[in-house]
Chains A and B, each alone.
Chain A
Amino acid sequence: MVGSAPLWAVLAVPAVLAVFALTAATADAVLAARAAGQRVTWTVLAAPLAEVPRLLAAQRRTTPAPDALLWRLGLAAIPAAGVLSAVVIPFGHVTVSRMSVGVVWFNAMEVLTWAGVWMAGWGPNSVLSLVGGYRFVAQGLAYELPLMFALICAATGAQSLNAADIAAAQGHLWFAVWMPAAFAVYLVSVYAFSFLGPFAYPAGRDLAGGVAAELSGPDRLMLEAGRWLLLTSGAGMAVPLFLGGGAGPALPPWAWSAVKTLAVLGLLVWGRRRLPVIRADRYAELAWVVLIPLMIAQALAVALVVLTMGGPP
């Protein structure tokens, strides 16, 4: 079963998360290059990594009368939320924090980005940033409730809020199979809280980058890294919640965790390029009229199955 983690695992979380995030960003760069009709060369493969020295060497932008404290705090909160949300994700046999309310912790860390993105938008005292910050709040109002119901479905199915317990409860049947609506809503919400792909509205091109419009140098690096860390953490959490965690034939559990995480990440990276941005007001309509009732029905179905069968199938 899932063992307790050694102390060094605390340091390993950001490192492992960063490696997966970099892999995802590299895959994204390859897809972008192919869409532009370029050949995939070493320069393309190294592109996300090359952003790091580029941004570290760049001057930090200041604006007239910024709220510097909120601005920097907000920017720091985004990657911090990505890393902290990952401490409850079981990786094979190892979970850094085996807290009993891991799912709630994950959700809380992801909600931390609401404050982070809003403060990052407010800080520079600039119209485009501010509109971007508010867009994230509007988007949050739309995606958050369906996401919480999706998390509740998985927790109800396993009768536990501990991510490792939820993974262990899927011995016979993955939750993704018998609660597909919850799985789909969860995946869509991963785009939403990392504001990437169809949910890049707060950092939209129409806003010249929105919350990122006034960011240069290390500030921009934090925001961009934060988005990819959040996406990766979201993909990682999908594995214990819906895909049976580290269980699988032949390979050791950590390998299955890695393979499944990469598969979800690959799906998210591929899907993000195929859709236009969904404006928050339109998504709010869909979320509240269609998705919330759908998720309530899904949660009800899960509860009935667990009650009648005495546990998950």
Chain B
Amino acid sequence: MDVTGLLLRAGATRPHVMIAAMPGATAVRLTAEEQLRRRGWPAALTPADADVLVVAGTAAPDIAQAVEAAWAAVPAPRVRVRATRPDDVAAALDAAQAGLASAADQRRSAATRDPGSHRGHDPGRHEAMSGGHHGHDMGGMAMPAGLPMAGRAEDRDGLKLDQLHVALGPFLPDWPAGLVARLILQGDVVQHAEADAVGLMADAVSFWAEPWRRAAAGEQVTTGTAARRRAAAHLDSLARFLGVAGWADAATAARALRDDTLRGTPASRLGPAVRRFAARVARSRLLAWSTRGMGTLRPDDSAAARAAAAAGGQPPLPAGDVTARYRRWCADLAGLAGLLDDDSLLDSSLLDRSVLDRSVLDRSVLDRSVLAPPRDRGGAGQAPSAVLLAVLPRLLEGAEFAAARLIVASLDPDLDELPARAGTGHGR
């Protein structure tokens, strides 16, 4: 009896899948997430728990190494597939399941595997714990496994503690595609942070801003189309935020509503469901209690805000903490729920073309409008998400790890809005 074959087939009935989402491939990621939900396949939180690695989108050269590192950390039996278009996803997942169940495939894959490759680094592992411009030379000490020891510095209480240099991203659960946060941790407190973008494609455009881009190009776009896209973007952001906050069922509900919104479920059915969901999340006292006071933005925050104020615009980011930010998404959703099937034309005269060319937003008209692109509040000369990235390091410094993850999720920058390779003004 072929026990290996039996085990492989039993294990492949419900493979755990890790989605490595590339920038510029939001639509592919959404389809992959929807497929997993419908098939009942769990999303793996870490390569160690994955059987299948789905690379969603095209890997730019500067992210390819991270993909390889994630793949190296996936234990056998394993399959890697790639989907560059939403339509490819279902076939890729079917192929992955077949490959997992096939003992012959797995033997071939094991035979070609570099024996040392399983020791790879996953995205959350400490890479280069000391060095670079924060160097702490440890002299000629013998290091375990050739790794340098952590350096030490004073922490917020004046104690000398180890400093760990940790790069978060680009592949973490509920993490914006392409974002890398380079942190110096003491214990689990972030002492220093830099936000960086990797894997940006020169021709990528933001999936979430698409209706507005089309309207600005002179196409006729209905209010309903725009409202659906904005609602779906907020639901996607909320799904990630709730995932990070550890409220799995609410995150699943957000994803299901997001998929229904994009699939065109009639507003008569969808609107009330969206409203109920938004009210349930906004009302949760436990969630508010555990996120209050974190990542507070002041009205005058960041150089970008000051520049915007100087240019006559309003502050680019509304003040408030993490709680205020997710409740704003909920409030927006309640407003959008009534517009999902509105077939009046989106008034393109409301749109400053330059917004959609990733620059200035016409604050007077669009600020706080429920019909603006999802990450509406841009600053002078910058895409909205560039402003979000610019304020990120200051908000992260001093935060504990859990708070840092919630802060990133509550801002949820869309890196597809950034001009490729221009970076963020931080780090590189």
Instruction: Answer yes or no: do A and B interact.
Output: yes
Binding site for B on A (CB under 8 A): 32-33, 35-38, 43-44, 46-47, 50, 53-65, 125-128, 131, 134-135, 198, 200-201, 204-209, 212-217, 220, 273-279, 281-282
The answer to whether B124 touches A59, judged by C-beta atoms less than 8 angstroms apart, is no
Residue from the set B10, B253, B405 with the largest chain A CB neighbour count within 10 Å: B10
Report chain A residues within 8 Å CB of B49.
Answer: 209, 212, 215-216, 220
The answer to whether A36 touches B119, judged by C-beta atoms less than 8 angstroms apart, is no
* CB nearest to B183 among chain A residues: A127
Choice from B76, B164, B174, B401 contacting A58 with Cβ under 8 Å: B76
* CB nearest to A62 among chain B residues: B119
B309 at the interface (CB under 8 A from A): no
B14 at the interface (CB under 8 A from A): yes
* CB nearest to B123 among chain A residues: A208
The answer to whether A50 touches B13, judged by C-beta atoms less than 8 angstroms apart, is yes
The residues in B between 1 and 58 inclusive whose CB is less than 8 angstroms from any CB of A are 4, 6-8, 10-16, 37-38, 40, 45-46, 48-49, 51
The answer to whether B253 touches A277, judged by C-beta atoms less than 8 angstroms apart, is no
The answer to whether A47 touches B76, judged by C-beta atoms less than 8 angstroms apart, is no
B77 at the interface (CB under 8 A from A): yes
B7 CB, nearest partner CB in chain A, Å: 4
Choice from A127, A135, A217 contacting B164 with Cβ under 8 Å: A127
The answer to whether B14 touches A50, judged by C-beta atoms less than 8 angstroms apart, is yes
The answer to whether B7 touches A205, judged by C-beta atoms less than 8 angstroms apart, is no
B136 at the interface (CB under 8 A from A): no
Report chain B residues within 8 Å CB of A44.
Answer: 40
Given contacts A35-B249, A64-B119, A209-B49, contact A54 B11 (CB under 8 A): yes
Q: Which 4 A-B pairs have the closest CB atoms?
A: A277-B246, A54-B11, A65-B145, A276-B247
The answer to whether A200 touches B11, judged by C-beta atoms less than 8 angstroms apart, is no
The answer to whether A215 touches B51, judged by C-beta atoms less than 8 angstroms apart, is no
Report chain A residues within 8 Å CB of B38.
Answer: 36-38
Report chain B residues within 8 Å CB of A46.
Answer: 13
Report chain A residues within 8 Å CB of B76.
Answer: 58-59
The answer to whether A127 touches B290, judged by C-beta atoms less than 8 angstroms apart, is no
Report chain A residues within 8 Å CB of B13.
Answer: 43, 46, 50
The answer to whether B40 touches A36, judged by C-beta atoms less than 8 angstroms apart, is yes
Report chain B residues within 8 Å CB of A33.
Answer: 40
**19 extra A-B contacts, CB within 8 A, seeds A37-B256, A54-B15:** A36-B256, A44-B40, A53-B10, A54-B14, A59-B76, A61-B118, A125-B144, A205-B45, A205-B244, A209-B49, A213-B46, A213-B124, A274-B249, A276-B246, A276-B250, A276-B284, A276-B286, A277-B245, A279-B290
Report B157-194 CB contacts with A as 1/0, cut-off 8 Å: 00000001010000011100000000001011000000
* CB nearest to A66 among chain B residues: B145
Residue from the set A128, A134, A209, A278 with the largest chain B CB neighbour count within 10 Å: A128
Choice from A50, A60, A201, A208 contacting B173 with Cβ under 8 Å: A208
The answer to whether B249 touches A64, judged by C-beta atoms less than 8 angstroms apart, is no
B360 at the interface (CB under 8 A from A): no
CA distance A59 to B7 in the complex (A): 13
CA distance A37 to B37 in the complex (A): 8
CA distance A277 to B164 in the complex (A): 26
CA distance A158 to B45 in the complex (A): 46
